[in-house]
Amino acid sequence: MERIAVLTSGGDSPGMNAAIRAVVRKGRHHGLDVVGVQRGYTGLIQGDYLSMNLGSVGDIIHRGGTILRSARCEEFRTPEGREKAVLNLQQHEIGGLVVIGGDGSFRGAQHLTALGFPTIGVPGTIDNDIPGTDFTIGFDTAVNTAIQNIDRIRDTASSHERTYIVEVMGRNAGDIALWAGLADGAESILIPEAPYELDDIVERLARGDRRDKKHSIIIVAEGVGSAIEIGQMIKEKTGEENRVTVLGHIQRGGSPTAFDRVLASRMGAEAVDLLLAGERDKMVAIRNNEITSLPFDTAFAMQHQPDMSIYDLASILAI
């Protein structure tokens, strides 16, 4: 193997650039040519390739987003599109591909492996919803972004002695809500993985009133439903005004935290080593702070589950 390629696909996450940097520089360390594929699988099909050297990835480790950009690609969902992608890779004499993204990106990578092309996945998504790895690139930054904004909301909530409901991202996973909720002392945390009763939330608010608590914060994962609707239901139950804030895509941007930069660097470098070792059809993972890997099929067969001990602890501490 003399030449490898790297692409980012799906939703961007802070730390993707650090992973790209690690792939390029680890590849160059081993004497490989490294090609950047622009706009994900769309660029793979269209041949939108960029030769990358050490300078190509200079001054990007601290930047959010992805310098290779990302795009959805309907054509890649077809057998003809995937065959065209492999043909382009072969014509450019590329021997292996690193795919940085989420579960949808990994399924695309597996399709390429099924056509005989070696691929390795690096988990990059703020949702932290990929089974088989403790953390994904971008999750820590997203949690810290959420916390910083919830801290600001708490200042206003306290000043006006009011309940605020804050909706955070995470798709169908509650990890961002869970970690941000515990870190910010939320009175209630609503996640898809745990059923909730509206009466329990109202009772928590009432307990706070009885001990003269001046404000409350409720965190809602987007996978649970609309925070606006939940806020309205709480208002109908309590008879008191509340305010709703949807943090939205602000959680996907920004400079990655030190944790995400280190994680991305370790994972990107490992992906190159796996390709050079002849591995394929695998994703890089971190477990108990050790970088490892597992087959895509193994990850796909697992179900993501957040650490529910955090949920239990948050409930206890918000008494």
Extract the annotated binding site.
11, 21-25, 72-73, 102-105, 125-127, 154, 162, 169-171, 185-187, 211, 213-215, 222, 243, 249-252
127 among known catalytic residues: yes
Q: What angle do CA 281, 302, 115 make, to 5 degrees?
A: 25
Residue numbering of the annotated binding site for Mg(2+): 103
Q: How far is CA 110 from CA 7, 196, 295, in A?
A: 14, 37, 10
Annotated active-site residue in 12, 33, 48, 127:
127
Secondary structure string (H, E, C) spanning the chain: CCEEEEEECCCCCCCHHHHHHHHHHHHHHCCCEEEEECCHHHHHHHCCEEEECHHHHCCCCCCCCCCCCCCCCCHHHCHHHHHHHHHHHHHCCCCEEEEEECHHHHHHHHHHHHCCCCEEEEEECCCCCCCCCCCCECHHHHHHHHHHHHHHHHHHHHHHCCEEEEEECCCCCCHHHHHHHHHCCCCEEECCCCCCCHHHHHHHHHHHHHCCCCCEEEEEECCCCCHHHHHHHHHHHHCCCEEEEECHHHHHCCCCCHHHHHHHHHHHHHHHHHHHCCCCCEEEEEECCEEEEEEHHHHHHCCCCCCHHHHHHHHHHCC
CA atoms within 13 A on the CB side of 23: 34
What is the set of active-site residues? 127
